[in-house]
Chain A
Amino acid sequence: MNPSPEKGAKCEVSFFVNGKETNLHAHPMERLLDVLRNELGLTGAKEGCGEGECGSCSVLLDGMLVNSCLVPIAQTNGASVVTIEGLSTHDLMSPLQHAFLECGGAQCGICTPGMILATVHLLEKKPEPVLSDIREGLAGNLCRCTGYMQIFEAVAKAAQRRVAK
């Protein structure tokens, strides 16, 4: 929980969440993570540490990978936010989500939304990543279950399939 987010008046925030225009009133210092989870019902982003270490609250903010626990809502005005909920359409998993499922990239699942968004970000920058790119690209997202090996596999598989298309 961030310190005293309620100081000051609420401000108007207008931004795009998973492509949808969203307008709301919030205290400027309220965390993007809390707004997504509590105001918008997008609970896919998780709080693991509240200090930007674990990456389980990762979302894409104008294409950048950010820890939503560190982003004040005021900073998102006019921006475009993509959460895990924005990746699957009509209940259909994206190929990346498929690869995570297939390779064992998700165990307890708590880091998975952030890990998948970190992968989206990585593959945008490096469509054909080598292992060291994958390791670097996911270094801000902690996973305590998998030892990462099957996540690396999932990312590599998704990248190959994407390039093959």
Chain B
Amino acid sequence: MNIPHIVGASVPRKEGREKVTGAARYVDDMALPGMLHGATVRSSVARGKIKTISFGPGVDWNEFVVVTAKDIPGKNCIALILDDQPCLAAGTVNHPEEPILLLAHADRHKLRKAVEAISIEYEPLPPVHSMEESERQSTIIWGSDNILKRYLVEKGDVDSVWKEAAHIVEGEYFTGAQEQLYIENNGVIASFEPEHGVTVWGSLQCPYYVHKALMALCGLPEDMVRVVQMETGGAFGGKEEYPSMIASHAALLAIKSGKPVKIIYDRMEDMVATTKRHPSRTRHRTAISKEGKILGGEIEFTIDGGAYATLSSVVLSRGTIHAGGPYYWPSVRIRTKAMATNTPPHGAFRGFGAPQSLFALERHMDRIAQVVGISPIEVRRLNFLKTGQTTTTEQTIRENIDLDRLLDRALELSGYNVKKKRFAEENKNGPRQKGIGIAAFLHGAGFTGSGERYLNSLVGVEAAADGVVRVLVSSAEFGQGTNTVLCQIAAEALGLPYENIAIAQPDTTVVPNSGPTVASRTAMIVGKLVQSAARGIRDTLAKTGLLGDEYSPEQFRAACREYIAAHGALKSYARYESPGDVYWDDAKYRGEAYAAFAWAVYVAEVTVDLTTYSVTVDDFVALQEIGKVLNPVLAEGQITGGVAQAIGFALYEKVVWQNGRMLNNQMTNYIMPTSVDLPPIRVFFEELGNVHGAHGAKGIGELPMDGPAPAIVNAVEDATGVRFNSIPLLPEDLFEALFDESADQDVSSPVRGSA
């Protein structure tokens, strides 16, 4: 048992060898005998009734497998939450690029020509293309009021605070859509055999989401649907719900043709048709005391959900709960809603609503500081949540978090105070203006409120006769390190070397449902269950007298061999148990929203070039408290990657819309950061621990998406003196605001402060 600690060590990525040698198998690397290729015929209009579908000349249509909504054996929907999204449009279309018809052929080139040869006539219906238009309700496109979901959070008596306020600070903030831009596009292969049902291999995050969707669509029982996750080339939420759609399409073609069917989107189709981050608008009205304390506030947070409800309710929930940030609000009213528009549904993307509402809040905190006449540091110090205080949902902070100390350390690591003074001096001459900005924030780990109880996750661990232990979970690896950290936890629990632990490929016929791989829940929730299940193996062997308290890997192997010879398999399962003291009221949206929060202070240093109007991030300090760091190299990689993606969100990545359709759906004109665009991203951790996670781990994956955008825009304001309240912030936006000196100093919003 005297194995050095494996948890906390940077053991190599479990599937790393395959990845660096090119041997890793992604779905497009796989082919099945007799396989056809599938393609999707999509709507060219935002909203309308389908009048006719014609199959043009020059194509031998007999060679093609054609699937329409009529071919769906079960229910025509992508089963998720409300089941309002059809798998194939029947009668009406509600967004551009909505799938209408499917084709399959063995020859990909013929297939493409065939897609082009199909023409669809529509009777147009008036579309809705903005949240504001949707709110006006002059055209109803969803339900009775266009509102996909709404929440109300109320704490204290906010109506009474305005009269005692020394300052009332208002602001309006916007964030744009963002493409996940995983480098591997969405793709699946489906096969069908009447006696075994449907099998899907795909690039995906949540095998059991796809499983559930296929059961409903195909009208098949649980054991007639099999979903296998292949190596997945990035996901970031973009492969949370969308794979159910593409898997459904491939399955329908496979059922109709009796042959395996592969659908791999090319980049243009992936960008134009699949989900993106929800655009948002946040309005703040905050009552502030003379010295700068928050007395109370009203927050209105609205997101654009697109044409169907899909995951918008959950994204909105996370955005709602994070809207108050890491601050103490004696009273607050948070009113939020997701509006329907005739664009492809927006969906899961790292951060899941929190980057949107936290961008607004952290810009607003700087505004409050200005109005009060104190520094951005001071305003945060005055309002930081402290142990024993409650969040906006009245969750009591029990852990011993010291945000003041975290802030001090971030200031020191970044040289904030020295730089702030130096930049103010240096900016007086020259066309390059430097600035520095901060953001303080938090991110809840795991499903919101009662979510984990509903998920009821199950995890298995299996030992083989050769002493190799296999972790059985549906939690997927897509770069973030699932395989590695779960194997580390199992190794540590069993006192075995890391090399003796394997993890099963997620396959619904092999692994139990450990829940979706989302919400920064894997290390904390699933990790804890892996630890319990692994201990179960050890306990079983101990109880049967085959293993003592101390054992070597050889003794463990011998014990496994003996146990399996006598009893067959050696498996142990662990199911999620809700911590007893968690209270959550779904109706009032009040209580313990998350089992744990990760906390962070980020500092961005920028240069604004007044010749080119470009913003360069020169230095970036990311300091966070994430419980226990299970694997330092992997953890650091999560932060640097998230910060990079968030720099893109802030400064580069703009989705250009025209009539509900993305115009710039190519990597040549939707720009993500390259290796020359990024600053040194300096990552630091604090480890307070967490009673709910394995070894004290909290969630980490989404956290770094939340803070960079406001820190950067705060720095841009520090450099230029102009309040930019909308992202992405591109050179043309800076040009517009800075070129004409007489322009309104307040860009894109009616922020005002009153004393």
Contacts and interface: CB of A to CB of B under 8 A. Distances in A.
A136 B675 CA distance: 7
A110 B644 contact: no
Contacts of B673: 147
Contacts of B151: none
Given A109-B233, A143-B183, A151-B675, A51 B644 contact: no
> Is chain A's interface secondary structure helix, strand, loop, or mixed overall?
loop
A112 B20 CA distance: 6
B676 A51 contact: no
> Is chain B's interface secondary structure helix, strand, loop, or mixed overall?
loop
Contacts of A51: 267, 666-668
A110 B267 contact: no
Interface string A111-126: 1110010000000000
Interface in B615-670: 633-634, 636-637, 640-645, 666-668
Nearest to B113: A4
Chain B CB count within 10 A is highest, among A4, A53, A107, A134, for A107
A135 interface: yes
A108 B182 contact: yes
A104 interface: yes
Interface string A47-67: 111110110100000000000
Nearest to A137: B675
A42 B667 CA distance: 25
Contacts of A139: 674-676
B29 interface: yes
Contacts of A106: 13, 16, 19-20
A51 B20 CA distance: 24
Given A47-B28, A49-B667, A148-B644, A1 B184 contact: no
Chain A CB count within 10 A is highest, among B21, B23, B25, B109, for B21
Contacts of B478: 108
Nearest to B267: A49
Nearest to A117: B22
Interface string B470-481: 000000001111
Contacts of B576: none
Contact of B13 (A101, A113, A135, A147): A101
A17 interface: no
Chain A CB count within 10 A is highest, among B112, B231, B641, for B641
A144 B182 contact: yes
Given A142-B674, A144-B234, A149 B15 contact: no
Interface stretch (A8-16, A70-78, A79-87): A79-87
A28 interface: no
Nearest to A111: B183
Interface in A2-60: 4-6, 37, 42-51, 53-54, 56
A104 B485 CA distance: 14
A149 B21 CA distance: 20
A146 B676 contact: no
B17 A93 contact: yes
Given A135-B675, A147-B643, A109 B19 contact: yes
A53 B665 CA distance: 13
Interface string B1-28: 0000000001011011111111111101
A43 B22 contact: yes
B672 interface: yes
Contacts of A47: 28, 266
A5 B112 CA distance: 13
Contacts of B181: 144
B290 interface: no
B605 to A, nearest CB: 16
Contact of A141 (B23, B180, B675): B675
Chain B CB count within 10 A is highest, among A37, A108, A142, A147, for A147
A113 B481 CA distance: 18
Contact of A144 (B641, B668, B675): B641
Contacts of B451: none
B479 A145 contact: yes
A37 B694 CA distance: 41
A68 B179 CA distance: 25
A7 to B, nearest CB: 10
Contacts of B680: 149
B266 A50 contact: yes
Contact of A108 (B10, B109, B479, B636): B479
The 8 A-B pairs with the shortest beta carbon distances in the complex, nearest first, are A44-B22, A110-B233, A108-B479, A109-B19, A147-B644, A84-B22, A107-B479, A147-B640
Interface of B: 10, 12-13, 15-26, 28-29, 108-109, 112, 180-185, 231-236, 266-267, 478-481, 633-634, 636-637, 640-645, 666-668, 672-676, 678, 680-681
Interface of A: 1, 4-6, 37, 42-51, 53-54, 56, 83-85, 87-88, 91, 93, 97-98, 100-113, 116, 134-136, 138-139, 141-152
12 contacts: A43-B25, A44-B22, A48-B667, A49-B667, A85-B21, A109-B19, A109-B24, A112-B20, A112-B22, A146-B640, A147-B642, A149-B680
Given A87-B21, A109-B24, A149-B681, 8 more contacts: A93-B17, A101-B17, A104-B637, A106-B16, A136-B675, A139-B674, A144-B641, A150-B636
